[in-house]
Structure 1
Amino acid sequence: MTQQRTVIVTGAGTGIGQATAAALKAQGWQVFATMRRPDPARHGPDALPLDVTSDESVAACVAEVMKRTGRIDAIVNNAGVDMVGAAEETSMAEAHALFETNFFGVHRLIQAVLPIMRAQGSGRIVTTGSIAGFLPTPFSAFYSAAKHALEGYTDTLAFEVAPFGIRCSLIQPGFIKTELRGKKAEAATRIDAYTNLRNRAGASFDANVGKGIPPERVAETIAKALNSATPKPRYRVGRDAAMLHIVRRYMPGFVFQAGLKRQF
């Protein structure tokens, strides 16, 4: 058994997850980088298969980490999917699938590790949210809804587990240059009335992603949350995330909505 700090990072195949795994490994953490289909030659011997939508896969991953190390000091919930489509265009099956990964997948892993962390009397849970968690995001209603849900979930969880020495933080990046947008799913139904609006919003979003900060900036913040003796409940990453939060909080609603219309 090792006394090296142990962390599970989900969605570590690319983007923020990959950058986070690299940053934490460089800081001396024993990192279990997880993804659906890891390649040991590319991702290393501590890369583990994990499908956060599967109870069996989560249980197997947690059991393997415990077998190798005897403890789990932290998890980074980063696995996520994106989907573009108007709310009216999105089927119930598509909405359920997105929530299964972006929200219930987070809960599934947390529920699996909490007994271990409670027994240890310590633990860190860091979850990657988004500015979509406090802003409306046109044509991504269910992605935004899942990120909003993580806000309430994380805040409530933090109260419940604090007596056991477990701390929770939510990371809220602004626009980030990642591959998530390029891998986005699209709602199968297409309603012509939304086409022009959807195309304009998508072009605006893609332009902002192209100007976004690198995923390494988010990884640095995740590492900060994990290493801090007193981690904050929220970490906003990027100038746009910080500014938009202030604007959303203090600007009159009708003015804020007018600004979003111009943006998208």
Structure 2
Amino acid sequence: MVTKKSELNITEDGNLKKAYQKYRILKQEVDHWQQERKSYWLGMLNLAEKPPYLPIMELPSEAIIELWQRLNDAAEVKISDSDLREIWKQISDNQEVMDEEMSTRFQMAISGVAQLASEMANEKKVPTQRLGDDPHECITCPVCGEVSTLAVLTPPNGQRMMHCTSCSFEWPVKRVGCLHCGSENAKKQMFLKNAAFPGIEMVVCQLCGHYFKEIDARELYVQDYMWEDIKSLPLNFATELWLSEQTKTNNQIH
């Protein structure tokens, strides 16, 4: 079987170092909060009998607001708990009410709380989807119900696992083929990469036009998959451009 690979062109982002400094401060605050408050909030979590075991919108809002406020304090942003509760209510009503930086802190607060549910699910050894399940279910996190586009090839044999960037839960998926449409036609899959991101490939299906990111953990040690996904966003942007160019010039995406 011939694997189709291609090199992506990407543009250097000079703001990456600054972004990481901000992220690291917030991530450390999340870690501290989890260490201090995990025992209390784990006692408040209840997993359902079947997936999704604890959807994002069913997480305890007070836990999210508590952590969110910690992140706001770390960023030296003053806002009252009552205002955060009002924002949460508006978000629940599908209203966009935050700037980008506030939204980042909100998402990290959700993730920090959702990771507690993931930890509980791992401890309880909850059942996950079977390897042959429907493609959409395959990429949907069985814990929080969010869709993931990040796969990891784990050592030593390269088993493919999906990694949820919302709650950090991992579950096995089939080793080959498109995770979006289920096609196993290797001739219709393209693996795109760039030397600036060793150990990471973008797997593109030329049948359905979707893609996902794949990290080979046998080649690249990753301590924080959320940051690795953020850091390698230039690959996502370059893949979108590649798909657009393929559609325009060769009409290869159906």
State if a TM-score over 0.5 links the two structures: no
* TM-score (ref. length: structure 1): 0.30
**TM-score, normalization by structure 2:** 0.30
